[in-house]
Structure formats: structure tokens, C-alpha cells
Structure 1
Amino acid sequence: MTSPAAVLFDMDGTLVDTEPLWMAAEARLAEQHGIAWTRGDAEALVGSDLWAGAQYFIDRGVPMTPDAIVDRLVGEVLDGLGDTLPTRPGALELLAALREQGVPVALVTMSTRLLVDRVEAAFAVALGTAPFDATVAGDECTQGKPHPEPYLRGLELLGADAAGSVAIEDSRTGAASALAAGLVTIGVPHAVDVSHVPGIIHWPTLAGRTPAHLAAAIREARA
């Protein structure tokens, strides 16, 4: 096997450098309502279902509905992105190589469809081709990460089997979702340290990584 059967990417913090935008939006919301907000609070929400994150704010005393909180945070991240696509190191190159080899690729994220469409369109321009064969957005899942539903849905849309496929994640929550779906999971740290998460393969970066490296990771994990 020189290429994986399929690759399922997380989005925020894995393909695009949006975690600082999320953290800043969350900090502004907390500050507006007089809530002390720590780095631990910010890290607790990385990779989580957005409505679970909204409930976290409500439990801390924010007098807003979950939908209103999600809409506000998503809107601020979209505004922060503007027309830019701040990709993570090696992400665009790996995605281009997978596209060139015809490997099925899915995007599996807890961000909403609005953000998915923005990122997908920007990647299409950068690559000159459709970046993904399937996309799973957080507002289209009944149960978000760490539940396996998002990744199981991604596999279903690709028509792929978990055994020969791999997920790439930057959060503990996302890694738990991918592992629960039966996927070999590679953790690439960004806003949080995932180097010691049990059951995953740790890569410091995607820079220099190829489809062959992904295939080798699957072989080693399944051996």
C-alpha cells in the first residue's frame, strides 16, 4: 500500500490556522459578561462540538441561547478570516499530493457549514481543483466530537472502510472521535498538546509528509 484508502482531515488547527480566531472570539464573549477566562478554558473548547461549547458559556453565566452564542462566535471567526486562508504548515502540499494520486479525502469538522464552505472554496482556488470528496459540518451532526458520528459519517460519504483509512487531528476531542470510529489517527499539535494522547500517532508537523507516509502509518498501526 503506497497510499491510504482514504484520508479524513479535521479543519480548524489541522488544515487552517483558525484556532487563534476561535480563542479570541471566546475570550471577548467571556470578557463582555465579566467571566474570568483562562488558557485552560480556551483549551477545553478546542475541537469540541460548538453547541457543547455554547453550553459551557451558559454554565459560566452567559445569558444567551446556544444558537446565539454559536452564531456570534462563527461570525467573528468568519470576519477574522476575511479573504485569507491561513493554512497550517504542510497541509496544502499534502492535500495537493492526495488529490494528484486520487485518494478520497473528507473534511470532518465541528465548524458550521458557513465556515466549511468558505474554507472549501479557498482551498479550491489554491489547489485549482475540488479539495474534498465529502465534507461533514458540525451543524449537520446529531452528536459531535468526541462521539464517533462525524467520522463515521465521513467514511460513509466516501464509501471507505476505516481499516485502510486515516484521520488527522489537532485536538484531544477530535482524536477521541476518530479513534472511536475505528480510524488510525495522527495527532498534529497546534493549540493543545496531543503528543501524549493514548492510541494516536504523533507527528510534530505535516510539513514534508506525503501519502506514502500516511500509508506507512496505517501499516504500522495495524501490524
Structure 2
Amino acid sequence: MKQAKSNVKRPGVNSKRLPAVSGAPGEVRVISGKWRGRKLAVLNAEGLRPTTDRVKETLFNWLMHDINGAVVLDCFAGSGSLAIEALSRYAAGATLVERDSALARHLKQNLQKLSCDNATVVNQDCLSLLSAPATQQYSLVFIDPPFRKGLAIPCCQALQQHGWLTDNALIYLETEKELALTEIPAGWRLLKENIAGQLAYRLYQRG
């Protein structure tokens, strides 16, 4: 990857898609739990937009009573920030799905640095994976795809249609704020929602 100006994300700055820059790492910080305060390097890549600390803190306040023991699926893992935060707060385990092979390798390295033995990184296209019959069911799912690529709604539909969710699964969805959500699966109940700059983030529960 070419050298370019640093695009390190700063906590509290509105989320925007970063330009494609290889080999120029930023950082994500674990907010709470057993790895509280740990900082992990993140490779900048096209479409990668780590969730800001402000949004992440709000999300995990929403989830505070549901994290311990959760089985987590991170659908567009990228930096791994959401899944790692959940694992730090004693989720039972996590599967991190990332299509980009360099990012997937880096995720594995960060999990090794944390001595994390209850997470798996899957280097595969998420929609391709989810279009097959489920091999496991998840009680907490993070969906935070690259913006404006038409990935969010098909991901939600595939999770529902192919049996990847437990009966009362919680689903976190982070998208561009203008995205229409008319095709969210029937029976998903909106629990929480908020807007931060250019993004909207929502928590659903499968009914």
C-alpha cells in the first residue's frame, strides 16, 4: 500500500469512511472490561471506519445487561473493535468475519496479543457466508458495513432467512443516516436508535 497522510481516527470525531491507505495504522481502544485501556493498531483500508469511542460507549451502555455470556458475530469486522469490546466484557465467544485478507491477518495478530482464545477470524465475504445454512446461532450480532455499498439490508435478511440468530438475538446496525430501512426483517423490534454525524446506529431484537 502507498504511503499517505495519516488518517488516524480520534475518539469523538464523527465517523467517515477513510480513504484507502495501506500500512498506515491507526488505533482503537478497549473501553472497559478485562482489557480496559488496551490500544490496538488498526490498518487503514478502503471502507474501514472504526466505530468512534463515543458511539461505542453508547452502544455498550445499551448492551450492559446482555454482553456477559453472549455468542457474538461481527459481520464486517474491519478493526474488530466491536467484537473485541464484547469479549473484553465477558462475551462467551466471537466470530469475526472479514473479507480483506490483510485485515483478517491483522485481526488474528491483535487477538493473539490479547491472549484471546475464544474468538475466530473468518476470512470470507460476509454475504457469501450468511447465504448458506447456519452452522451456529448467535445471540448478539454487529453489522457495520462500508457505507453506501448496499450491504446492510441483505446482511440482515440473510441472518434471518438462513437461521443464524437465536430466538431473542440482539442485532446492532450502523449505517449511513439516509439509508431507508423498509426491508428490515419482519419481527425485528427496534429497541434503541441514535444519530451521530453522518451515521445512524440502532439496536434491534429478533422477536
Could you tell me the TM-score, scaled by structure 2's length?
Answer: 0.43
Bigger Rg, structure 1 or 2: 1
Query: Which structure has more strand as a fraction of its residues?
Result: 2
Normalising by structure 1, report the TM-score: 0.40
In terms of fraction of residues, the more helix-rich structure is 1
Structure with more relative contact order (C-alpha pairs < 8 Å, separation 6 or more): 1
